[in-house]
Amino acid sequence: MSITLTILGCHSATPRINAFPTSQYLEINNCHFLIDCGEGTQRQMRKYKVGFSKINHIFISHLHGDHFYGLVGLLSTYGILNREKELHIYGPKGIKEVTLLQLKISQSHAKYKIIFHELTSRKSELIFENDKVSVSTIPLNHRVYTNGYLFKEKEKPRKLNMLNISGYSEIGKADYLNLKAGKDFTLASGDIIPNTELTLNPSKPLSFAFCSDTSYKPDIIPIIKNADLLYHEATFLSDREDLAKKTKHATSKQAAQIAKDADVNKLVIGHYSGRYKDISLFKKEATETFKNTELAEPGKVFYV
C-alpha cells in the first residue's frame, strides 16, 4: 500500500460534539503531509495516533476558518515540543501574515523555521516535488481563492528480471542501478542487450486528488484524470442544489459526476452540511452516479 489517507475531520462550518472541520493526514510513498487544519486538528491527530514529528509540509486549501483555524495552535505546540526541523506551509496569499501575527501577539516563540509558500495562480502549477512525490494545485471555484491539491508518486525504477539477468555472467550487482534506470547493457563483444529483456515494468505510480470547497467545476477533470483516490466536497444533497450554487459548494451527485467523468478509481465525499442528520443519504445519492463512493468519517482510513 503506497497511499494511506486518514480522515481527521470532514464536516463543514462550525465544530460540534461529534463533527470536526476539514483535516486529513496523507502518507504517500513514505512521505507525510497534512491537508487543511480545521479547529481541533491536534486533538484528532492524537486520538488517531498521527505522528506530529513526521509532518514537514502542510497544505491549506483556503482561508475559511473551518480549514485553517487549527493551524496556529499546531504551530504553537510544535514550539512547546521543541521542534527543530523546518516546516513548509502552502496556502493562499495572506496565510503568512495572519499566521505570523497570531504567533507574534501570543508570543509563541519557536526555534524551528517556518517557510511559507503563498499561492495566487488561477492555473494548475507544480508547488512541491522531491524524489518520491510531486504536488500540484487544482484551482477550485469557491467564495474565496481556493486550491485543491494533486499528490502523485514519481515514476518508480524498473524491476530487475533476475531470471534473464542470470543468463549473462558479465552483468554484476554494480550494473543493477543502471538497469533500473532503463539503460541497455553492452557486452564485451559489443552486443547490446535491450533493457526490456533485463527488466520488468514498474508498478503504476499512484495519485490522490484533494478537492476542497468548490462549486461544480468540470474543468478540473483533466487535472485529476485517472486518480486512484479522489476526495471531493459534497456539502449538500441535490435537494439543495440552489443553495450549493449560491454558496459555491457541490452536491454529492455533482461530486460523483466529477469522479465518473475523470475516471477515478475511488471517490470519498465529505464536508457535510449540518442540515443533514443522516450522512448515509450522501452515499446513497452519489452511488447512483458513481458506484465506488465512500463516506469520509473522522478516524476512517483509506488505503490504496
Domain spanning 3-156+203-303: CATH 3.40.50.300: no
pLDDT over 90 at 128, yes or no: yes
Residue 14: which pLDDT band, with cuts at 50, 70 and 90? confident
What are the φ and ψ backbone dihedral angles of 241, each rounded to 5 degrees?
-60, -30
CA distance 227 to 253: 19
Burial class (CB in 10 A: 0-12, 13-18, 19+), 301: exposed
- The mean pLDDT of 263-270, rounded to a whole number, is 98
Mean pLDDT of the residues in the chain: 95
Indicate if the pLDDT at residue 1 is higher than 60. Answer: no
* Residues sharing a CB contact under 8 Å with residue 263, sequence separation 6 or more, in sequence order: 225, 226
pLDDT at 111: 84
Mean pLDDT, residues 123-144 taken together: 97
Stretch 120-130: mean pLDDT, rounded? Answer: 98
| Buried b or exposed e, range 46-79, using 16+ CB within 10 angstroms | eeeebeeeebebbbbbbbbebbbbbbbbbbbebe
Per-residue pLDDT, averaged over 63-89, amounts to 96
The domains of the chain are located at: 3-156+203-303, 159-200
Catalytically annotated residues:
66
Amino acid 110: pLDDT: 76
pLDDT at 18: 84
The pLDDT value recorded for residue 265 is 98
In percent, the amount of the chain with pLDDT more than 90 equals 93
121-125, 195-199, 213-217, 252-256: range with lowest mean pLDDT: 195-199
Average pLDDT over residues 265-274: 97
